């Protein structure tokens, strides 16, 4: 019995001695691959700008970095709507819904109240993926009315909104103008969280 126990212990020691370094290295390589993939996915491929006014006051510019490597279809939709190259887009549209401590929402350039908008692919297009999270302020995400109902509407978070993960497609983040975003998040609103004075995108486009 004692001999059997000794043999088993010897086998276990050998397994730990030879297998553990390989397992550790394998886990390390896997972690590095995942980290590298996430970095590639989060790489900013396009920078869209919005020049924004609140009533008659020019508030400033927000620049949004887009994750085109990870979500090319969603990013191309947003980029094209920002330039207006398809004959329609975000210029002169409003942020129709602002909730303090949550988010600002815009992109409805057809009805202006959250019921309209359209994508460059047609009325709606499918969710492209949920690899990125609503993990803080300045996250750019697609607004929708359920699964696979992306159009042109989007929102930018003012705080972490983890409950939206896996329900809305995150495809970018604010890279400049966080102060402008936070200022917009405090404007006075009325019914349906609509700003009392229009918050308008007076110019939009893509930076080189």
d(CA 64, CA 48): 5
For strands 199-207 and 46-54, give the pairing.
antiparallel
Cα 61 off chain centre by:
18
Q: What separation in angstroms does the CA of 113 have from each of 55, 104, 170, 197?
A: 17, 13, 22, 14
Catalytic residue ranges? 97, 102, 105, 144, 155, 164, 168
**Secondary structure letter of residue 162 according to DSSP:** G
Looking up tokens 């939009």, which residue turns up?
204
Residue among 116, 61, 53, 109 nearest 86 (CA): 109
Cα 77 off chain centre by:
14
| Both structure tokens of 32 | 């590095």
Sheet order of strands, 97-99 included: 97-99, 103-106, 154-157, 139-142, 170-176, 57-66, 46-54, 199-207
* Distance spanning both ends of the chain, measured CA to CA: 76
């Amino acid at each position: 019995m004692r001999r059997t126990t000794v043999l088993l212990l010897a086998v276990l020691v050998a397994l730990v001695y030879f297998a553990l370094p390989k397992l550790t290295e394998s886990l390390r390589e896997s972690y590095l691959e995942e980290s590298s993939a996430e970095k590639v996915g989060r790489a900013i491929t396009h920078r869209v700008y919005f020049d924004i006014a609140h009533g008659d006051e020019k508030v400033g510019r927000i620049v949004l970095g887009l994750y085109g490597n990870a979500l090319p279809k969603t990013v191309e939709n947003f980029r094209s709507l920002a330039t207006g190259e398809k004959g329609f887009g975000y210029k002169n549209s409003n942020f129709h819904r602002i909730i303090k401590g949550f988010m600002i929402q815009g992109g409805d350039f057809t009805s202006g109240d959250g019921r309209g908008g359209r994508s460059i692919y047609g009325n709606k297009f499918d969710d492209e993926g949920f690899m990125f999270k609503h993990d803080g302020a300045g996250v750019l995400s697609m607004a929708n009315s359920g699964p696979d109902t992306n159009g042109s509407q989007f929102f930018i978070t003012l705080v972490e909104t983890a409950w939206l993960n896996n329900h809305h497609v995150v495809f970018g983040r604010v890279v400049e103008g966080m102060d402008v975003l936070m200022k917009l998040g405090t404007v006075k609103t009325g019914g349906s969280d609509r700003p009392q004075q229009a918050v308008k995108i007076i110019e939009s486009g893509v930076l080189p």
